[in-house]
Amino acid sequence: MARTPLICGNWKMNLGPHAARDLARAIVHGLPEVPFGVAMAVCPSTPCLQAVLDEIRVFDRLEGGAQDCHAALSGAHTGDTSVEALRELGCAYVIVGHSERRADHAESDATVKAKAATAQAAGLTPIVCVGETLAQREAGEAEAVVAAQVKGSLPDGVAGDGVEGHGVVVAYEPVWAIGTGKVASPADVDAMHRAIRATLAGMMADADKVRLLYGGSVKPENAAELLALDDVDGALVGGASLKADSFLAIAKAAKTTG
Ligand code: PGA
């Protein structure tokens, strides 16, 4: 099953609107070097979304996304962001359940599932993050922990990204590999992505259409090896997405379909 790889930048709580717009502009400038058949997206922090989306709006090869949303459509939720507002801004994606949000804001699988379902219903594609801690991996629990997160965090009746318009993307991000420079070995990533695919197959008919991204210290030096794996359909990139050159180099390393 040929899945279009997605290289998605997660800018986290970095950059202000001006610097974010400049980074978006630099990425757009380099887009002609990235082969067609590689989808790209950037997820700036909420205050930077407008500036970035205005910058990239006319370039359909680069889409925008948010880093979180609320599970409710609107209402008394001070400081939160609604999917309707994100859609009106022009977001295509929203990251939900990133391990930093699970840790900083005590987000449970049920919360993540509710957010993903609301995003999907609004026409956004949720990028649902899962991943084990170092202690869980060392205890031999990694695959069981991630399987439980996948089962608990994906909306019911989910379809793959692009299926009937509104799908879901799953990002496997081992917590111990995020921002640490420690990247999971290709063998471990391969095994986990196969396991996630098998879990998805137990949940839906079209599991082979769901894009599975790897995230955690992806950089130009290790991208080609990870992105070559059969069940790795792209990357969620933090630190290395804050420089246009390294983000574009990772996109150029993606295997293309067809
Ligand atoms: P990193 O972050 O690439 O800086 O490790 C990845 C992520 O948290 O999405």
| pLDDT per position as a tens digit, 14-39 | 999 999 999 999 999 999 999 989 99
Would residue 38 count as lying in a domain?
yes
Please tell me the distance between residue 217's alpha carbon and the centre of ligand 1 in angstroms. 6
Average pLDDT over residues 130-156: 96
Would residue 258 count as lying in a domain?
no
Regarding predicted confidence, which is higher, 182 or 12? 12
Q: Please tell me the residue having the least CA distance from ligand 1 atom 1.
A: 238
Instruction: Read off the pLDDT of residues 43-91 as tens digits, 9 standing for 90 and up.
Output: 999 999 999 999 998 877 899 999 999 999 999 999 999 999 999 999 9
Name the residue of 6, 173, 175, 222 to mutate for ligand 1: max ligand atoms within 8 A of Cβ: 173
Query: 103 φ, ψ to 5°?
Result: -80, -50
* CATH number of the domain where residue 237 is located: 3.20.20.70
Please tell me the distance between residue 57's alpha carbon and the centre of ligand 1 in angstroms. 25
* 98 assigned to active site: yes
Please state, in angstroms and rounded to a whole number, the distance separating the CA atoms of residues 99 and 96: 9
**Residue 112 pLDDT > 70:** yes
Ligand 1 atom with the shortest distance to the CA of 215: 6
pTM for the model: 0.96
Query: 43 φ, ψ to 5°?
Result: -120, 90
Q: Is the dihedral of CA 45, 256, 194, 216 positive or negative?
A: negative
Q: How confident is the model at residue 157 (pLDDT cuts 50, 70, 90)?
A: confident
Given a contact cutoff of 8 angstroms between Cβ atoms, the answer to whether 95 and 125 are in contact is no
Q: Please tell me the predicted confidence (pLDDT) of residue 257.
A: 65
Q: Please tell me the residue having the least CA distance from ligand 1 atom 9.
A: 238
Would residue 257 count as lying in a domain?
no
**Residue 165 pLDDT > 60:** no
Q: Please tell me the residue having the least CA distance from ligand 1 atom 3.
A: 238
Please tell me the distance between residue 76's alpha carbon and the centre of ligand 1 in angstroms. 31
Given a contact cutoff of 8 angstroms between Cβ atoms, the answer to whether 76 and 86 are in contact is no
Q: Please tell me the residue having the least CA distance from ligand 1 atom 2.
A: 238
Q: Where are the alpha helices (DSSP H) in the chain?
A: 17-30, 49-56, 83-89, 99-104, 109-121, 134-138, 142-153, 186-201, 220-227, 244-252
Please state, in angstroms and rounded to a whole number, the distance separating the CA atoms of residues 79 and 205: 37
Query: What residues are in contact with ligand 1 under a 6 Å CB criterion?
Result: 10, 173, 178-179, 215-218, 236-240
Which residue range(s) make up the domain with 205?
6-252
Percent of the chain with pLDDT over 70: 95
Q: Please tell me the predicted confidence (pLDDT) of residue 258.
A: 52
Q: Please tell me the residue having the least CA distance from ligand 1 atom 7.
A: 238
Query: 210 φ, ψ to 5°?
Result: -80, 130
Q: What is the CB neighbour count within 10 angstroms for residue 40?
A: 24
Task: Name the catalytic one among 70, 98, 166, 193.
Answer: 98
Q: How confident is the model at residue 145 (pLDDT cuts 50, 70, 90)?
A: very high
Q: How confident is the model at residue 166 (pLDDT cuts 50, 70, 90)?
A: very low
- Interior/surface letters 190-206, b for 16+ CB within 10 angstroms, e for the rest: bbbbebbbebbeeebeb
Would residue 11 count as lying in a domain?
yes
Total domain count, the chain: 1
Average pLDDT of the residues of the chain: 93
Name the residue of 170, 218, 227, 243 to mutate for ligand 1: max ligand atoms within 8 A of Cβ: 218
Would residue 1 count as lying in a domain?
no
